[in-house]
Amino acid sequence: MNKVLNSSDEAVAPIFDDATIMLGGFGLCGIPENLIAALVRKGVKNLHTISNNMGVDGFGMGLMLEAGMIASHIGSYVGENRLLESLVIAGKLKVDLIPQGTLAERIRAGGAGIPAFYTPTGVGTVVAEGKETREFDGRTYLLERSLTADFSLVKAWKGDRLGNLVYRKTAQNFNPMMATAGRITIAEVEELVKPGELDPAEIITPGIYVKYLVKGEKYERRIERRTVRKA
């Protein structure tokens, strides 16, 4: 089965208004920037996003925010986006901040079909407000529900036309678990190879999780900086 599409615009065509979308990456590393750009061009509205962070002003998910596409957001870090800060203060955007490890586990649990789990993280803080607690071996734990989405947009280093994905370094952080937690997973890759060219031992996301695949048209790589050591 060939899951490769011709462009990022074709890949995001199924995404509809009011959809819940997971977007992979950590900071600006490993984000599906071509799919995000295509989503902005498509102009869908009232999206409910789940991502570790919200990008920065003028790049990544920051472009979606500027286009007025996001109605609510679940994440763990939003400190580098001034527009998001102003929207939250003005009451125009609902943001649910979650401890980073808890966010990762809620997504992983969603992909594994686990509806909820207990964690000690957040006990005794505002994170615990309104949540069920239970004691195990003398310690209090919070009940956290898993997270799933209508669509997951992920970025991988390499992929084949069957949808098998290989990630590189920090891009392994949220992308693999989000690939399992979306009803429809759309992946963009830097390098597209033929089936059999990927080392099976290096494949992190098996193709069964991936519905569509596209080779990224352009990468700004804002997180990367060339440095020269002076004598």
Q: Any idea what the CATH number is for the domain that residue 40 is in?
A: 3.40.1080.10
Is 225 part of a structural domain of the chain?
A: no
pLDDT of residue 88: 87
Indicate whether 230 pLDDT > 90.
no
What does the pLDDT look like over 184-226, one tens digit per residue?
Answer: 999 999 999 999 999 999 999 999 999 999 999 888 776 666 6
Closest C-alpha to 30, from 151, 148, 197, 158 = 158
pLDDT of residue 56: 86
Residues spanned by the domain of 180: 8-116+148-215
Q: What is the mean pLDDT of residues 41-56?
A: 94
How many helices (H) and strands (E) are present in the chain, helices listed first? Answer: 6, 11
Q: What is the mean pLDDT of residues 54-77?
A: 91
Indicate whether 112 pLDDT > 90.
yes
Coil, strand, or helix at residue 146? Answer: coil
What percent of the chain stands above pLDDT 90? 77
Note whether 13 and 223 are within 8 A (CB).
no
Coil, strand, or helix at residue 131? Answer: coil
pLDDT of residue 226: 61
pLDDT of residue 130: 93
Closest C-alpha to 194, from 154, 164, 153, 156 = 164
Is 221 part of a structural domain of the chain?
A: no
- Number of structural domains, the chain? 1
Is 131 part of a structural domain of the chain?
A: no
Is 132 part of a structural domain of the chain?
A: no
Is 54 part of a structural domain of the chain?
A: yes
More confident position, 53 or 103: 103
Indicate whether 158 pLDDT > 90.
yes
Closest C-alpha to 114, from 141, 147, 142 = 147
Is 72 part of a structural domain of the chain?
A: yes
Is 126 part of a structural domain of the chain?
A: no
Is 193 part of a structural domain of the chain?
A: yes
